[in-house]
Structure 1
């Protein structure tokens, strides 16, 4: 029996969800998933990782755990040839390029951080997109606390303890809320030489408020809660320049700080934007079946897909909730094509709601038109995302960490330099035998080896 070759590009919410839904095909398809990371990352909880609330392993799952009937390749997607049904991938280890052919292609490559061409901000800012980002931010914050505790100059201490987050969407709001609690709690419990008045948390928003995805009343409540927690909100301005110890805003203000975190925008990989198909703001424009109209064997979903809501005319937002629902539609339509069915399922989805954590045991949520705030919204957020984790093992570990965090203080262990061996390629052609290998060793080493 001829197997249909299916390539899935991307190991985020969209790609992994398609893989899991396609597992029913078993021997009817040869499925290969390609990702630069060998794990799936539950990105909505990155701010909690940056604040030390949860452990990195709680929200990262090896992709191979989902590959019972599929193959996984860790590589970078270099190019896509839609006309000839080919995908070029590059092994980061040695730069080796491999060409893969396909019968059906699923593009779920997500997005990357957008600095809008500002190289100085890109150089001096942290981002909140990957597991490395969250770990780096946590280490940096603890390092600043340690330095500040030993600093007598109050102005320098103030600069060390000033954190600026640019971008007031869900990522920015949750990040500043988590970091604010982490810094203030750590100072109260551990750092006796730090003056709490020197702690400054600043959230920069380009709009008149924060969380523009929510209705104005709920957004206003979130803003008030953050301000009560000691966070300054700067609205109607943008960050236009940055150095190692400052951020320059569009309103002319310069903020002296040691920590800048950028959550202000996303962009699409050049592999996607250069494809021979229609685009919308860099994203691939798909039809109601989530296919590229010119190439019906190619499905696109997630952050890199421009999917129009036929009811409102607007485009669906790039959220995990939408990516999960899109993956079901893609999997069903793939099955219909493989089994020769003419019918295709149209994508149609109304969001169940949106929610965010804005501080310790405090959150906001809108669910089926109802607004919820405070501890109840915080519990709803925790419960919803706990249930969304793909495996029971991770759900158990996360619930355990959350429970422990209610009774114990957050960890402030500083992990400094980690040695990494640089290994770019293997060249085994010149080593034909063990004897020749030993011959090239130093004499004293060679004698030990021969013994």
Structure 2
């Protein structure tokens, strides 16, 4: 809402579209000071997305791809909060609570929606629980730490060949620029550091790229895509084309058609959809729920709302559909939107978006890339050199450019770091997905968690003298795994999934705290355990008698 005579412009999102809109608006404030800018983002930094995959391999420093928004936008009020809702009628934005649990409301006169896309795993069994997205610095850092941990575990795993195979198999779903760059960097990293692990044979490593179309990189020409496929294949990446990821568990990637790839590392860059907040907005939407905007970047049917970037459908000035969701388009859209917002406040002629794109580039790992520059195809080392040179100059700030250039130089001379940063514990409570036939745990395993079935079914079986006996069938709302935790022994039976199942699992440390401070809960669980044990023994005696 207006503060006196000043108008308030609220920008949602801190990606290319949001940050550059604020940047161009700051240039327009001048001495008139007739509007203020507020930007809402869940992080206090701007991510230079094209370089994010290099965090995996450590080619650049962990913080080299990010810039503090406050330093980029000194005249903008930054709110580091999650978005809760947007009320279009009252023109207010509600964000998540901070240290105090109360609502945080921000009024606006003009709204800019630049929320980008989010990886959307809805409807895909097990992907929300077990697939890793790749959208921001936290995702990149988590993946890097996870991969190093998998290598550390595999180096000392000698007893379980299946587990060893899972640890040394890395699956990436999605063959667009993001998926290909992640697969390329991941492949270079694991194969490069394998020589540091005496217990790992590089021949055991598998990096698999799953893509639903007949070639990767649909954004570029067939010639460049085929070059990329040949190069990745030569470097050890397995390509699964015309193949769709259907489901996932903590131990497998399930491919449409039934094939199961044993893996403990699944990265999925697809599918994506606009931010969930946009779904709740009563605004015109087109394909995949993206907002419909005109060439002035104004949302159709409104006079005070603008949209840009991945979350908006903006007509291509060349007349061929809509603008692609690229950084170069978002930056130019931001400039047009900023000019038109100022024109709405002060009066004046508005501009239309008129940018046809300069080309596309994608890195393929070690000293290779593909590029389409103004219709000219370039591949190999020259494309890689162009990729690095162009993106280096596009980084915000000379200090950031100097850091990245230094990191790249040192990367040519020094081996990759193998430091695993254990920033936080994730062993407490989590949701897991299991496919039919998969064992949640096996008889004789160490007891480390208790499970509560959310939906689906499982059976409890016990082996004795080579015979397998069914002890129980479990369904939604029932729990299992408490016996080994309460008696501090190994698992007395195997629990096997019989239908797609989602379950909550609680780590034994938190389970121990609950039973220590809630004695009634422990007593109740102990009674259930005793009844189950007695029932199981009776079944065994009956089978023995037969």
Q: Same fold (TM over 0.5)?
A: yes
Per the TM alignment, residue 417 of structure 1 is displaced from its structure 2 partner at its CA by 4.8
Equivalent residue number for residue 218 of structure 1: 224
Partner of residue 287 from structure 1, selected from 255, 280, 294: 294
* 1:40-189 equivalences in 2 (<5 Å): 40-152=46-158, 155-188=162-195
* 1:239-254 equivalences in 2 (<5 Å): 239-254=245-260
Does structure 1 residue 336 correspond to structure 2 residue 339? no
Equivalent residue number for residue 277 of structure 1: 283
The unaligned stretches of length 5 or more in structure 1 are 421-451
| Matched-pair contact (CA < 8 Å) for 1:245–1:257 | yes
Per the TM alignment, residue 152 of structure 1 is displaced from its structure 2 partner at its CA by 2.8
The unaligned stretches of length 5 or more in structure 2 are 427-546
TM-score by length of 1: 0.89
TM-score by length of 2: 0.74
Does structure 1 residue 13 correspond to structure 2 residue 20? no
Q: How many residues align?
A: 418
Given the superposition, is the C-alpha separation of residues 41 and 145 from structure 1 closer, same or farther in structure 2, using an over 3 Å criterion? same
Given the superposition, is the C-alpha separation of residues 273 and 405 from structure 1 closer, same or farther in structure 2, using an over 3 Å criterion? same
Equivalent residue number for residue 307 of structure 1: 314
| Matched-pair contact (CA < 8 Å) for 1:74–1:91 | no
Mapped to 1, the partners of 2:202 and 2:300 lie a distance apart of 58
| Matched-pair contact (CA < 8 Å) for 1:292–1:298 | yes
Does structure 1 residue 3 correspond to structure 2 residue 3? no
Per the TM alignment, residue 94 of structure 1 is displaced from its structure 2 partner at its CA by 3.9
Mapped to 1, the partners of 2:131 and 2:314 lie a distance apart of 31
Given the superposition, is the C-alpha separation of residues 119 and 177 from structure 1 closer, same or farther in structure 2, using an over 3 Å criterion? same
Per the TM alignment, residue 95 of structure 1 is displaced from its structure 2 partner at its CA by 4.0
Given the superposition, is the C-alpha separation of residues 252 and 130 from structure 1 closer, same or farther in structure 2, using an over 3 Å criterion? same
| Matched-pair contact (CA < 8 Å) for 2:19–2:46 | yes
Partner of residue 241 from structure 2, selected from 235, 245, 252: 235
Per the TM alignment, residue 92 of structure 1 is displaced from its structure 2 partner at its CA by 4.3
Mapped to 2, the partners of 1:74 and 1:256 lie a distance apart of 39
Mapped to 2, the partners of 1:192 and 1:69 lie a distance apart of 54
Dislocated runs of 4+, deviation >6 Å: none
Mapped to 2, the partners of 1:334 and 1:156 lie a distance apart of 57
Cα RMSD over matched residues?
1.6
Does structure 1 residue 23 correspond to structure 2 residue 26? yes
Per the TM alignment, residue 326 of structure 1 is displaced from its structure 2 partner at its CA by 0.6
Mapped to 1, the partners of 2:317 and 2:88 lie a distance apart of 27
Equivalent residue number for residue 448 of structure 1: none
Taking CA–CA contacts closer than 8 Å with sequence separation of 6 or more, which of the two structures ends up with the larger relative contact order? 1
Mapped to 1, the partners of 2:385 and 2:101 lie a distance apart of 46
